[in-house]
């Protein structure tokens, strides 16, 4: 008997949080043309396409999506959550500092309605000032623009037909297929020429009675994905088309959107070649029970389960596979083993580079009721245990698509950097801080090192996105593998916890490599 994932509970409790926004200089301009991409040091410039199981940038360099889901546009808030506590720029900066390089933005078709008004945004003390008076789509524009300046990519996810609930099929009685396709085309047109938006996830978690390859126009998700994908590409042929699975194929059921068993025999074929990325969702017992969790061989059985449902597409070099959602509260030992096994299955970046599965973790938000998030309930503090599970599969950021100044390699000029230190929270007995490294030279950084000396007795208790040594009050932090490369005008960040609090902000120095 199949089991399916229930609708996530969204707990929209507005919480006040004191935040000193993460500092950082905006990343430099990078042109969205193939010629500019071929000259870029770091992969990811321009629009992307597929080749076998890999995703390649405009210059043909392989890239890896290693990102995070930030939900809210699909709810009755009609905007990403957490803006009731923080400025959107500080959140995107923090995502970058943690090593996430892509944001998946769920939305519902309600945001296209003229009467839709985004709500629960805090504008006090200058927070979110440039969002005031904007509608949902205009706020999405702001998020996309800032993410691009930070070197992050964005995937737009048609999550629901309206803000009330998930739908099994891509259409409902109130939101017909024609509206779904018209709104997809509208988004594709809106972001044409902006390569920060690399693609669209056509519909979230199709499930029974959705089928794959059955030939029924009303329920065959594969045929619907072809109709919608071709409509998107007719107005923006550069986008990737992300196609999720279904729930049941050939009598075998699994997670909603997680069953791609039929894609090998019945592939999604679009008018523009090399645009299809298949997407699976996978969850732990905090979302729902599945038979494989109680298998006596668990977790050794899990690679075989994943191979069966979606991994074979990657292993047989058929197409790239993006695990668009996976998450857990980590409350049980089973869930901890599941996440460790899945991360290993996704292939460590240090070993396989971009020849790996793509992924976006669910979620950034702490208010996903059955998974929690990377942020804790204060919308500031990082769940370093959960984030730590993902360390081996994180990947480098991408060239900025912002409009800052700056140039390319200076041809022998000296690399240089500066660092800024920000206390993000201080509760007396301890504190959290973030350090942003900015490339101020005329050539790309290959590595960096930051030093400071406290005037008090502070000791680091944990650090993420860098390694450190501490001798007395003096600390030296060195980049992690995934964030040592920083383009001209770009930035990278790391964070840490320490104790006791009340230490203030020391002077910091940065040495470029």
Catalytic annotation, residues = 205, 325
Of 456, 450, 452, residue with least CA distance to 436: 450
Of 171, 84, 164, residue with least CA distance to 131: 84
**Kind plus residue range of the DSSP H or E element containing 201:** strand 197-201
Classify each residue of 281-296 as buried b or exposed e, where b means 16 or more C-beta atoms within 10 Å of its C-beta. Answer: bbbbbbbeebebbeee
| 3-class state of residue 409 by DSSP | coil
CB neighbourhood size of 484 (10 A): 18
Q: How far apart are CA 73 and CA 108, in angstroms?
A: 7
Do 438 and 416 meet the contact criterion of CB atoms below 8 Å apart? no
> Residue 391 carries which DSSP code?
G
Angle (deg, nearest 10), helices 136-149 and 88-97: 40
> Which residue matches tokens 């899945």?
342
Q: How far apart are CA 455 and CA 287, in angstroms?
A: 47
**Kind plus residue range of the DSSP H or E element containing 439:** strand 431-439
Q: What are phi and psi of 25, to 5 degrees?
A: -90, 135
As a three-state string, the secondary structure of 450-496 is EEEECCCCCEEEEEECEEEEEECCEEEEEECCCCCCECCCCEEEEEE
CB neighbourhood size of 125 (10 A): 9
CA distances from 393 to 64, 65, 200, 434 (A): 9, 10, 23, 22
Q: What are phi and psi of 343, to 5 degrees?
A: -60, -40
Helix ranges (DSSP H) in 98-176: 136-149
């Amino acid at each position: 008997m199949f089991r399916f994932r229930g609708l996530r509970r969204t707990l929209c409790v507005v919480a006040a949080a004191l935040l000193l926004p993460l500092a950082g200089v905006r990343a430099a301009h990078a042109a969205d043309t193939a010629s500019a991409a071929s000259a870029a040091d770091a992969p990811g410039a321009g629009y992307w396409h597929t080749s076998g199981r890999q995703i390649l940038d405009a210059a043909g360099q392989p890239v890896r999506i290693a990102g995070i889901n930030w939900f809210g546009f699909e709810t009755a808030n009609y905007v990403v959550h957490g803006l009731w506590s923080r400025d959107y720029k500080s959140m995107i900066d923090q995502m970058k500092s943690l090593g996430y390089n892509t944001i998946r933005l769920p939305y519902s078709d309600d945001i296209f309605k003229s009467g839709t008004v985004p709500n629960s945004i805090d504008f006090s003390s200058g927070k979110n000032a440039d969002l005031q008076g904007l509608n949902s789509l205009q706020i999405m524009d702001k998020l996309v623009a800032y993410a691009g300046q930070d070197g992050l990519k964005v995937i737009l996810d048609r999550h629901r037909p309206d803000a009330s609930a998930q739908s099994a099929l891509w259409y409902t009685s109130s939101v017909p297929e024609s509206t779904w396709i018209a709104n997809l085309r509208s988004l594709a047109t809106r972001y044409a020429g902006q390569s920060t938006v690399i693609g669209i996830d056509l519909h979230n978690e199709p499930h029974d009675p959705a089928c794959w390859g059955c030939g029924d126009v009303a329920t065959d998700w594969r045929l619907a994905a072809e109709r919608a994908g071709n409509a998107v590409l007719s107005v923006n042929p550069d986008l990737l088309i992300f196609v999720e699975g279904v729930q049941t194929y050939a009598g075998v059921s699994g997670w909603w959107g997680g069953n791609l068993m039929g894609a090998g025999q019945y592939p999604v074929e679009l008018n523009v070649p090399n645009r299809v990325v298949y997407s699976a969702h996978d969850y732990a017992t905090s979302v729902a029970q599945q038979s494989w969790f109680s298998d006596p061989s668990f977790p050794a059985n899990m690679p075989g389960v994943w191979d069966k449902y979606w991994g074979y597409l990657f292993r047989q070099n058929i197409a790239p596979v993006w695990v668009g959602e996976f998450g857990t509260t980590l409350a049980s030992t089973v869930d901890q083993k599941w996440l460790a096994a899945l991360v290993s299955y996704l292939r460590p970046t240090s070993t396989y580079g971009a020849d790996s599965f793509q992924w976006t973790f669910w979620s950034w938000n702490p208010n996903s009721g059955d998974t929690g998030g990377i942020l804790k309930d204060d919308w500031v503090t990082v769940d370093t245990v959960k984030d730590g599970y993902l360390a081996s599969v994180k990947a480098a950021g991408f060239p900025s698509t912002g409009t800052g100044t700056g140039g390319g390699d200076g041809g022998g000029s000296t690399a240089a950097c500066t660092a800024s230190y920000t206390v993000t929270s201080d509760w007396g007995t301890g504190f959290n801080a973030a350090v942003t490294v900015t490339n101020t030279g005329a050539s790309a950084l290959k590595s960096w090192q930051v030093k400071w000396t406290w005037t008090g007795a502070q000791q680091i208790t944990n650090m993420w996105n860098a390694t450190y040594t501490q001798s007395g009050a003096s600390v030296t932090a060195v980049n992690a593998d995934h964030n040592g490369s920083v383009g001209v005008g770009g930035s990278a960040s790391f964070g840490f916890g320490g104790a006791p609090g009340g230490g203030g902000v020391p002077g910091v120095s940065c040495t470029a490599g």
